[in-house]
Homo-oligomer: A and B are copies of this chain.
Amino acid sequence: MPRKIALAYSGGLDTSVMCRWLQEMHEAEVVTFTADIGQGAEVEPARAKAEALGVREIFIEDLTEAFVADYVFPMFRANALYEGEYLLGTSIARPLIAKRLVEVAAATGADAIAHGATGKGNDQVRFELAAYALNPDIEVIAPWRSPEWNLHSREACMAYAAERQIPVDFQRSGGSPYSMDANLLHISYEGGGLEDPGNPPDEDMWRWSVAPEDAPDTPLDLDIDFAGGDPSALDGEAMSPATLLRRLNEVGGAHGVGRSDIVENRYVGMKSRGCYETPGGTILLKAHRAMESLTLDREAAHLKDELMPRYAALIYNGYWFSPERVALQALIDETQKVVNGRVRVRLYKGAVSVIGRWSDSHSLYDEGVVTFEDDAGAYQQEDATGFIRLNALRLRLAARRG
């Protein structure tokens, strides 16, 4: 009886070729797993392709709601931003796919999983760390890292496919010169002309957003409600996590919001250049911070800010299922109970700005205290004298030392 391998299968050229290669090289029965995480392409066509490859156990699932509710939203509670710029769109999807793939392997009796990520990137790490954390005895096959894998160029893959009559859709990616990844949170671009960090991307690279120059001349104002730190409604209309994020992507993209173009540090030790479109995420980060600004205690907020870069790096590096991420999440979630209310944002020509925030139940803003007008004794200005003098005491003693 041949061994069984569960493959993360997109239905595209690379993983179709990989499916056959695993069948041949590893003399294995391959189980395919294809997930809809909002990448924008149909997943159902993967079924016929897998069947044509002789796959008998085919798993196709819509994970969009789980993706947003259990991964994207918890991450946004932290205001996570990698290296000050990157909203972690690719990073946050990998753990979920790895988790389901490990579960598919368990359900089908496969003792190995395989994925199509290369040996230079972060995705292999995210994928494999998650898999090992969930099943320490799983074997991971990463064909791109295999000495036997010799299909390193698109041409080699296509020749291999043609030779074996693998039915691939040659139009996939529309001949894009970029390496792309998409899910409900974002779409990313790497490679091609982007490999020169001095070279701006061509305008036609971007898929989700119009150029700011082409965005409407009229701003769009949008109300976002938060409950327990998570967005729950748009313009007063409650909606599911995935629906809400999809809507934000639409309006954000239409207003040119969410593009970024950065040089980032990969976990494997090199710098790379990537471009990202994250329209909904860009809006959410701004709005969530504004909601916290009204409802979150100062020191809790500062503590979160200090821990955020580490939390973001954990997700970037693939440690979603690690004890340290879980511990940080416990801290973050503890702070979010009070993050309830409404934020109004304005989208205009690529920019998001906050133009109002309200929280009937949880605002810590007290106009009676802060006012420049008479505060009727809500605050005693003379308290500041002692406050300053004792905060200064150690500085004065040091200054006396000379």
Contact = CB atoms under 8 A, between A and B. Distances in A.
A348 B213 contact: yes
Contacts of A128: 388, 392
Contacts of A401: 338, 361-364
Contacts of A207: none
A319 B299 CA distance: 11
A79 to B, nearest CB: 7
A134 interface: yes
Interface stretch (A10-18, A23-31, A235-243, A376-384): A376-384
Nearest to A312: B305
A367 interface: yes
B136 A395 contact: yes
B322 A269 contact: no
Given A84-B289, A330-B330, A390-B383, A200 B129 contact: no
Given A305-B83, A321-B395, A380 B389 contact: yes
B265 A298 contact: yes
Nearest to A79: B84
A400 B136 contact: yes
Interface string A206-226: 000000110001010000000
Nearest to A119: B381
Interface residues of A, number: 129
Interface string A91-135: 000000000000000000000000000111000110011001111
A69 interface: no
Given A271-B366, A309-B305, A393-B268, A212 B299 contact: no
Given A190-B372, A366-B397, A384-B119, A293 B355 contact: no
A327 interface: yes
Interface stretch (A34-42, A140-148, A165-173): A140-148
A192 B372 CA distance: 8
A308 to B, nearest CB: 8
A1 interface: no
Contact of A390 (B356, B387, B397): B387
Interface in A179-233: 179, 190-192, 195-200, 212-213, 217, 219
Contacts of A144: 381
Contacts of A134: 399
Interface in A322-352: 322-324, 326-328, 330-335, 338, 344, 348-351
B395 A129 contact: yes
A357 to B, nearest CB: 6
Interface stretch (A51-59, A60-68, A256-264): A256-264
Contacts of A119: 379, 381-385
B382 A384 contact: no
Given A197-B356, A271-B365, A303-B328, 11 more contacts: A119-B379, A132-B396, A142-B384, A179-B372, A197-B294, A198-B358, A200-B356, A259-B353, A263-B290, A296-B323, A384-B390
5 closest A-B pairs by CB: A119-B381, A386-B386, A269-B393, A136-B396, A265-B298
25 contacts: A124-B388, A132-B399, A135-B399, A136-B396, A136-B399, A197-B365, A212-B348, A259-B353, A266-B370, A268-B384, A268-B390, A270-B393, A270-B397, A272-B370, A296-B323, A297-B322, A303-B327, A304-B327, A306-B309, A321-B395, A330-B331, A363-B401, A364-B397, A383-B386, A387-B391
